[in-house]
Amino acid sequence: MGFRDRNSSLFGNVAIRTKIIIFCVLILIAGGIVCKEAINNSNANRSIIEKQDSKTDNTPSATIKGSDSSQNTKNEAQKIQEEKNKRLEELYEQSSKAFSEKRYDDTISTADDIIKEDANFYKAYNIKGIALCYRGNYEEGIKNIDRSLELKPDFGYARFNKALAYELKGNYDDALSWYDKDLEIENYIWSYYGKASIYGRKGDVENTVKYLKIAISMSPEIKKFASDEEDFNPVRDSKEFQDLIK
């Protein structure tokens, strides 16, 4: 039998078992590490997702809140402007009423109050301008009417008042021109009547009757005004005029 070293044989067997145990332990440790990393990664991913979800949830909310705030500010500004416009329109009605009652100083004063609040309120310049003309201040009156027309060139009332201002001043050709400009944008009875009265002053029977007839066709009550109107004295005795107003 060959030489057999018992100790070496024994230790050889122990070494194999130790290796196996160590190998198993290493496998368990490695598995534990892998599991731990997997858990950590899972937690990290969950945290990131939660943060993203939180941002996703918060962003629209913040946007909506900002949008609502902006809309509320806009609505509030619009409401303030509407209230201001309403107040200025009421003042304009007061000014207009004062003018119809021939209270020209009150007309001018109220119009000035409007202009102080809104320098672009074109109707205030117009009513102030014609009131100034009736007070004899034609230069300032026409200047204010012109300002009204600068702000709103197609404002018929201002075109009419500019014609009337020239008529009051005695500039009849300019007055006729502006009555025509008014008639370009509105079929206004008093522009026809204004032209008839100017031709009446000139003694032009044909044109007096022509334009007065149009005014009467629009309102038969014009006959009463024409009967009492001194401007028609130069043509009053003509047959054509008498036939028209009878």
What is the pLDDT, as a whole number, of residue 27?
A: 55
Residue located via tokens 């060139």: 153
Q: What is the pLDDT of residues 30-73, one digit of tens each?
A: 555 544 554 555 554 455 445 555 544 455 555 666 677 778 88
The ranges assigned to domains in the chain are 77-161, 187-246
Question: Which tokens hold the place of 127?
Answer: 């009513």
Q: What is the pLDDT of residues 198-215, one digit of tens each?
A: 999 999 999 999 999 999
What is the pLDDT, as a whole number, of residue 3?
A: 33
List, as one string, the DSSP characters of 168-223. Answer: HHT-HHHHHHHHHHHHHH---HHHHHHHHHHHHHHT-HHHHHHHHHHHHHH-TTHH
**Residues of the chain below pLDDT 70:** 1-66
What is the pLDDT, as a whole number, of residue 112?
A: 98
What is the pLDDT, as a whole number, of residue 7?
A: 37
- Type of residue numbered 205: V
CATH number for the domain formed by residue range(s) 77-161: 1.25.40.10
What's the rounded Cα separation, in Å, for the pair 90 and 92?
5
What is the pLDDT, as a whole number, of residue 8?
A: 38
